[in-house]
Every structure is written in structure tokens, then in C-alpha cells.
């Protein structure tokens, strides 16, 4: 699909081998100055206003000797100023480092230090959360909301009509540093080049992003899940509506008010929106495309989205590190909702065994991928970068996903589990996703996660954490027996524990390490 509002200027830009994203903002400011670029609550910025704001931020950063080779860190809730700082950093040639604002203060401070940034833009909530640690942070603290946790941004900006010096940005230059979620250990800084984001922008045009699109952003701007939607939306001249915090009712209200055409959501958000009383009352007919990524997406929920929510449903499977991406056109392939789709155009997906040998179709192994959208590497971590790479016989570079899966007979990828989450019990591989699917089929189960815990007899044994649909009448042992009756003899669940909610990262990934560690204690 293509946005009907595509302009000749934008078509010409997309035909180029590479265009810097900040230059595209300037292009829209020149040709469509009054069009709304960013909206947050009752405030909005046109492209002309955004371009001037980005210029002022870039000029102030250059005044402070920030440019190519530097990093600018940001830790705050979604806001117009956050987006402007991201773009301002890019206009200087520096890389942006959006830091998860909801992470533990010590971890946040460690990520900022690791990034090497000399400027950290924060808001009042982050400043207060840092508490005494704020005094030990080396970078210059700048408060994007004017709060007293740092130099107020208006004071720091200085000259009202400042213009930055032009900078020539190359496709291989660092665009941003994204910190991994930390669900598998200490977060690593993932360096993504401009070429990777440019590939995502060009891909975005085929999904209907463009001048007439309205993208509703309800996940944090520090997350790559958000940025793969945000950057194409703004680069292609559409309007981005920001939510500081997700709320299903508020999402539906904003979608109706702004006639939203696009949204990137994680599975738990889809569940909450569909279950909200307002879903049937709100007009969501304006949607062209809805996207999902970052966490396993229940086939039954996919089917419900397709049936009840107008517009296409596209599931992306990939990594922040890049490599290969699979796409499922869920609205076109109701028979493949149990898969994550097929490799996207120009994306090469393979399946390998533990020795690094490529496996034939149908066999389960680790998924690796190659595409135009690939990370440069982990920041100052050549060892970790090397561990994340696989090369074929011709020396072609692939990124390892750590996920186990297989190709079905039609070339669709079926995910089994994260390699680290696979349970080896009595020498047999058990995939938690199979057990979780069985548990979720029980009418008394709202959600479930299965992890492996040490077992003297079997090495590991699966235990389940279940969110009851109705806690008052939930019978853990009855649910365990019900699920085990539907599982194979080697898949039996040893114990079921009721839990109020599964621990999740800000973008909805279940933190299985926390469940595993908590059970061990």
C-alpha cells in the first residue's frame, strides 16, 4: 500500500541511495511547513516549527563541541521535546542514545556512562528517581521539561534563531545506540548505522507511511520497537501522536480523535485494547496498518484483531541488532497465524545447528539473518559482537537471534523458543511455548509463562506461573492436571503457581529470569 499523499519531493528523496533523516525533516519543513509533525496532549508542532527547534538544539550541541563521533543521551518519558532532541542530535552528526527511563537508577547511570555521552537530557521524573546518584553523573544534565533536575532546556539553548553548521552524514555512521532490554543479562549498547534506519524508512513507504499518515505512538521512545515506527512516520512527512504512558481507553480516544492510520503495539497492548469496554464504541475505521513485534503474539489474539479491527495486521519478527526480519501479513494469511511469517524482501533467513551448520527446512535450530538493516556492533564490545555473528561459507555476515525455530513447508518461520529458555529435561528438549499454549487454552487462565528450574532427577523440570482469569476460584493443581493431560509424557509441568501479573519489560517481554530466580529462592 502507498500513502495517497506522497509528494514529488518525497518520491525523489526515496529514489536516492541514502538521505539523512534530519534532512528529510528539513525537506518537509520547506514544502509542507504548516503540516502537523508532532502532537502530545493539547500541544502540537508543525514541520516548520519542529525544524527550527531541531536547528536550535543542534546549534547548542555544536556550541558545546558535540558532533560526529559523539553520543547524546536521553532518558525521559515520551514528549515532543524528547523527539526534537533525538533529531537535533542526528543533525549534528552525533548518535542518539535513548536510555530506558524506567530502569533501576544504578542501571540507568551505568548505561549513560557506557554510552560515553557528555550531555544527558532528562525530565523531572527521571531526575527524582535518580536521587543522590544524579550528583555522580558526569554528563551535563539538561531538563527537557524545565524542572530543577538539570539546566532548563530553554536556558541551555540560548540564541532563539541559531542555525547549526551543515554536517555531511554518511550511511555507515552511527545513528543511535540502543540498549538491550537486559532480559538476558547486562544491557549492551547496540550501535545502529544510518543505513539501517534508512532501510526502515524506505520499507515504511510500502506500509502506507507518508504525508497523510497519522501514527499513534504508545510505547517508549527508548525502545527500538517504537523507533522502527517513529522514524519512518516522521521521515516520510506524517503526523506522530505521542502518548507519555499507555492506557487502552486513552489510546482508543486518541485514535478516534486524530483519525490514526498506523500504530505499533506489543501483544499485551492488543489484549488490553480488545478487552476494553470502549473498543466497540470508538471509531477505529481510519487504520490502514497495525504492527506488532517484540514478544510472542498469541494466534487467537491475532485472529481477533483481524476480525474486529479494520486495517491490515502485520507482525514483524526480528531483533534490535538487525539481521533478518520476517513479516506475517496476518489479515491475508489466517492459516499461518501460528507463524511469524516469511523473510521480508532482501532479507535472508537461515537455521543453523549448535555447530554452526545450516539445517534443512523442517529441522529446528537457531535462526540467523542478513539484510540491509544490521547493527554495526555492540558499543566497545568486540567480543559480544563476534559472538552475535555467523558467517556462511562465502563469508556473508548474519546476526544470530538466539531463537529456536524452523521453516514450514511453505517457507514460513515457526518459532519454538529462545535458546536460553529451552528446557532440557532428562536429555530431551522441551519448548516452553508449547506448554504455555496448552495452559492458555484453559478457561481459568488469563496468561502463563513456563520456565525450567533445577531438578535432581531430570536436570531441569518445567514449572508454570499463571495469571488467573478469576483468582477467587482458581485451582492451580486442577489447571496443572488439565494441561498435563493434553501434553506429551516428556512435557509434564511439575508445578503451577498463581501470580497477579507476569513481570514484563517496558515493551511487554516476559522477564523469565525474574520468575526463575524468584522460584529458586
Measured over the CA atoms of residue 229, residue 27, residue 38 and residue 109, the dihedral's sign is: positive
CB-hemisphere CA count at 13 Å for 460?
20
Scan for cell 496532549, then name that residue.
Answer: 41
Number of domains forming the structure of the chain: 3
Q: What is the mean pLDDT of the chain?
A: 94
Residue 2 lies in a domain: no
Check: CB of residue 194 under 8 Å from CB of residue 169: yes
Q: Are residues 410 and 440 in the same domain?
A: no
C-alpha cell at 424: 532440557
Domain edge (last residue) among 190, 210, 245: 245
Check: CB of residue 487 under 8 Å from CB of residue 478: no
Residue 305 lies in a domain: no
446-505 pLDDT, tens per residue?
999 999 998 887 888 999 999 999 999 999 999 999 999 999 888 999 999 999 999 988
Q: Are residues 449 and 505 in the same domain?
A: yes
**Structural domain boundaries, residue 514:** 422-520
Measured over the CA atoms of residue 196, residue 4, residue 244 and residue 153, the dihedral's sign is: positive
Check: CB of residue 412 under 8 Å from CB of residue 342: yes
16-30 pLDDT, tens per residue?
999 999 999 999 999
Rounded (10°) angle between helices 21-31 and 224-235: 40
Q: Which long-range contacts (CB under 8 A, 24 or more apart) does 307-310 make?
A: 308/274, 308/279, 309/274, 309/284, 310/284, 310/285, 310/286
pLDDT category, 107, cuts 50, 70, 90? confident
- Judged by DSSP in three states, 487 sits in coil
127-149 pLDDT, tens per residue?
999 999 999 999 999 999 999 99
Domain edge (last residue) among 417, 452, 479: 417
Q: Are residues 400 and 511 in the same domain?
A: no
**pLDDT at residue 183 is higher than 50:** no
Q: Where are the beta strands (DSSP E) in 283-364?
A: 289-292, 312-317, 326-329, 342-343, 348-352
Supply the CATH number for residue 384's domain.
Answer: 2.30.38.10
**494-to-20, 216, 399, 420 alpha-carbon distances in Å:** 54, 43, 35, 20
Residue 156 lies in a domain: yes
Average pLDDT over residues 70-90: 98
C-alpha cell at 77: 518519558
Question: HEC profile for 57-86?
Answer: HHHHHHHCCCCCCCEEEEECCCCHHHHHHH
Nearest to 44, CA basis, from 241, 315, 324, 217: 241
Torsion (CA) 340, 341, 343, 349 in degrees, nearest 10: 50
- Judged by DSSP in three states, 170 sits in coil
What's the chain's Rg over C-alpha atoms? 23
Supply the CATH number for residue 437's domain.
Answer: 3.30.300.30
Domain edge (last residue) among 245, 271, 306: 245
Amino acid at each position: 500500500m502507498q500513502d495517497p499523499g506522497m509528494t514529488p519531493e518525497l518520491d525523489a528523496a526515496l529514489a536516492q541511495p541514502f538521505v539523512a533523516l534530519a534532512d528529510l525533516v528539513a525537506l518537509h519543513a520547506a514544502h509542507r511547513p504548516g503540516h502537523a509533525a508532532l502532537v502530545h496532549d493539547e500541544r502540537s508542532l508543525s514541520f516548520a516549527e519542529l525544524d527550527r527547534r531541531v536547528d536550535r538544539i543542534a546549534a547548542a550541541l555544536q556550541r558545546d563541541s558535540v558532533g560526529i563521533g559523539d553520543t547524546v543521551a536521553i532518558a525521559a518519558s515520551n514528549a515532543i521535546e524528547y523527539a526534537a532532541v533525538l533529531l537535533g542530535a542526528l543533525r549534528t552528526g552525533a548518535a542518539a542514545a535513548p536510555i530506558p527511563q524506567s530502569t533501576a537508577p544504578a542501571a540507568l547511570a551505568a548505561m549513560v556512562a557506557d554510552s560515553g555521552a557528555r550531555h544527558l537530557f532528562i525530565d523531572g521524573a527521571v531526575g527524582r528517581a535518580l536521587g543522590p546518584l544524579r550528583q555522580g553523573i558526569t554528563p551535563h544534565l539538561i531538563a527537557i521539561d524545565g524542572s530543577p533536575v538539570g539546566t532548563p532546556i530553554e536556558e541551555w539553548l540560548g540564541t532563539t534563531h541559531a542555525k547549526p553548521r551543515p554536517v555531511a552524514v554518511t550511511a555507515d555512521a552511527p545513528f543511535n545506540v540502543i540498549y538491550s532490554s537486559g532480559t538476558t543479562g547486562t544491557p549492551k549498547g547496540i550501535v545502529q548505522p544510518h543505513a539501517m534506519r534508512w532501510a526502515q524508512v524506505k520499507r515504511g513507504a510500502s506500509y502506507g507511511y507518508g504525508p497523510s499518515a497519522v501514527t499513534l505512538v504508545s510505547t517508549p521512545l527508548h525502545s527500538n520497537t517504537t523507533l522502527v515506527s517513529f522514524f519512518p512516520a516522521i521521515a516520510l512527512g506524517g503526523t506522530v501522536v505521542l502518548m507519555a504512558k499507555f492506557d487502552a481507553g486513552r489510546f482508543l480516544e486518541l485514535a478516534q480523535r486524530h483519525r490514526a492510520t498506523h500504530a505499533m503495539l506489543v501483544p499485551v497492548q492488543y489484549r488490553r485494547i480488545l478487552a476494553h469496554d470502549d473498543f466497540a464504541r470508538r471509531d477505529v475505521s481510519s487504520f490502514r496498518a497495525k504492527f506488532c513485534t517484540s514478544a510472542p503474539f498469541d494466534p487467537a489474539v491475532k485472529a481477533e484483531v483481524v476480525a474486529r479491527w479494520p486495517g491490515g495486521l502485520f507482525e514483524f519478527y526480528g531483533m534490535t541488532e538487525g539481521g533478518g526480519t520476517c513479516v506475517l501479513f496476518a489479515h491475508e494469511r489466517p492459516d499461518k497465524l501460528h507463524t511469524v511469517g516469511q523473510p521480508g524482501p532482501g532479507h535472508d533467513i537461515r537455521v543453523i545447528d549448535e555447530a554452526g551448520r545450516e539445517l534443512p527446512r523442517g529441522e529446528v535450530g537457531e535462526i540467523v539473518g542478513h539484510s540491509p538493516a544490521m547493527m554495526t556492533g555492540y558499543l566497545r564490545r568486540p567480543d559480544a559482537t563476534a559472538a552475535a555473528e555467523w558467517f556462511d561459507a562465502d563469508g556473508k555476515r548474519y546476526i544470530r537471534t538466539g531463537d529456536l525455530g524452523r521453516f514450514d513447508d511453505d517457507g514460513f518461520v515457526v518459532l519454538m523458543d529462545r535458546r536460553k529458555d529451552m528446557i532440557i529435561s532428562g536429555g530431551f528438549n522441551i519448548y516452553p511455548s508449547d506448554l504455555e499454549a496448552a495452559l492458555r487454552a484453559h478457561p481459568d487462565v488469563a496468561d502463563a509463562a513456563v520456565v525450567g528450574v533445577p531438578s535432581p532427577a531430570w536436570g531441569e523440570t518445567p514449572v508454570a506461573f499463571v495469571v488467573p482469569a478469576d483468582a477467587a476460584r482458581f485451582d492451580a493443581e486442577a489447571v496443572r492436571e488439565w494441561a498435563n493431560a493434553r501434553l506429551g509424557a516428556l512435557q509434564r509441568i511439575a508445578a503451577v503457581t498463581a501470580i497477579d501479573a507476569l513481570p514484563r519489560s517496558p515493551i511487554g517481554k516476559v522477564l523469565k529470569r525474574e520468575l526463575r530466580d524468584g522460584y529458586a529462592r
